[in-house]
Amino acid sequence: MKAPEKNKGFTIIELLVVISIIAMLMSVIGVAAGRVRIVSKNMQQAANIHSMGVGLELFEKEFGFFPDSTRMPLGGSYVYGAQQLAEGLVGRDLAGVDEDSGFYVASREQKRIDNEPTYYDVEEEKSRNNRVGPYLNIDRESINVVEPSQLYDDYADGGIYCQYNADSHSISNGYLRAPVISDNYNMKRVELESGSVVQAGTPVLYFRSNPSAKYFRPGENTSWTSMDEEACSYSVYNYYDNIGFFEMENLKNPEEPHRFAEGDADGNGKDGKQEFYEFITSRKVGSYDMPVRKDTYIIISAGYDGAFGTDDDITNFDN
């Protein structure tokens, strides 16, 4: 009698095991691919910050100083360091810096432009002849220059100067522009005046150092919360240079505040000023507190999580 042939197919149990293994492998591959994307973005943003540094060095060779970063009052709001970085590298209208403008540059002797609409007007020969730069190639896909109103609905709550209407793409005069350079983490869909759409990220922050400052962090008898703007202005780096952007919501996750925001925003018991000054304290000097890059400037991107002050921030210093 002929023995019955054995079933050469999969049993249901074997099939389920194979499916489970494939699902596990796909999950691992998905996590790995996501991590690779983040690493790639981080490397790209680090390269962008390096390019900004090169541009700032070119600016310094032209003017004899780096762009200022001190927040400047204008029309009831403030122009912050992030906006001055964009001004120094590409100009307010992306056509280069107008040398007659005293709106952002460090020399206090230069003219202010509050009532000078010809400045930053490409239709004016005087303005065109004054242009230097740009010092940053914004044609690169990963670099976007946008107005604060295109990123934040509540930019006015942070006292951020912006006259650009993001809905109508209108502005009364080019000299009223105050853009920022966003990082490359694709957090906000932004429609440009040209009609093209880009994925912008969090503004890149810029702080110029005050090398003549006598101290860096609060003295022995001074608390972090008592460090007001005047006190911070005597520090090597001034926390208030970009405080308006610390008060904005996290574009990636609105529930996760910036650690540099005033007060104990993240609930870890530290004031935002303390978080900031500890973040930029050099780890290479142990005998006393000294900031990184104390003679030049620092640049900070919020990184993939969109929150300033976390471990994934991308900067121009290794700490």
In a domain? residue 162: yes
In a domain? residue 256: yes
In a domain? residue 2: no
Structural domain count of the chain? 1
In a domain? residue 3: no
More confident residue, 111 or 70: 70
Confidence of residue 14 (pLDDT cuts 50, 70, 90): confident
**Of the given ranges (32-41, 56-65, 195-204, 234-243), which has the lowest mean pLDDT?**
32-41
Neighbour-count burial for 76-86, b at 16+ CB within 10 Å, e otherwise: ebbbbbbbbbb
More confident residue, 43 or 174: 43
Instruction: Give the pLDDT score at 9.
Output: 59
Instruction: Give the pLDDT score at 105.
Output: 47
Average pLDDT rounded to a whole number, residues 95-113: 59
Confidence of residue 110 (pLDDT cuts 50, 70, 90): very low
Average pLDDT rounded to a whole number, residues 9-16: 74
Confidence of residue 112 (pLDDT cuts 50, 70, 90): very low
Instruction: Give the pLDDT score at 168.
Output: 84
In a domain? residue 239: yes
Average pLDDT rounded to a whole number, residues 51-78: 91
Instruction: Give the pLDDT score at 171.
Output: 77
**Of the given ranges (67-81, 90-104, 177-191), which has the lowest mean pLDDT?**
90-104
In a domain? residue 4: no
Mean pLDDT of the chain: 83
Q: How far apart are CA 214 and CA 211, in angstroms?
A: 8
What is the tens place of the pLDDT at every residue in 130-158? 888 899 998 776 889 999 999 999 998 88
Neighbour-count burial for 89-109, b at 16+ CB within 10 Å, e otherwise: bbbbbbbbbbbbbbbbbbeee
Confidence of residue 44 (pLDDT cuts 50, 70, 90): very high
Confidence of residue 49 (pLDDT cuts 50, 70, 90): very high
In a domain? residue 13: no
User: Is residue 83 scored above 90 in pLDDT?
Assistant: yes
Domain, as residue range, for 186: 33-315
Confidence of residue 180 (pLDDT cuts 50, 70, 90): very high
What are the φ/ψ torsions at residue 79 (nearest 5 degrees)? Answer: -95, 125
Lookup: tokens for 73: 């009052």
**Of the given ranges (34-48, 162-176, 211-225, 260-274), which has the lowest mean pLDDT?**
211-225
Instruction: Give the pLDDT score at 113.
Output: 47
DSSP 72-99: EEETTEEE-HHHHHHHHHH-TTSS-EET
In a domain? residue 275: yes
Lookup: tokens for 2: 């002929």
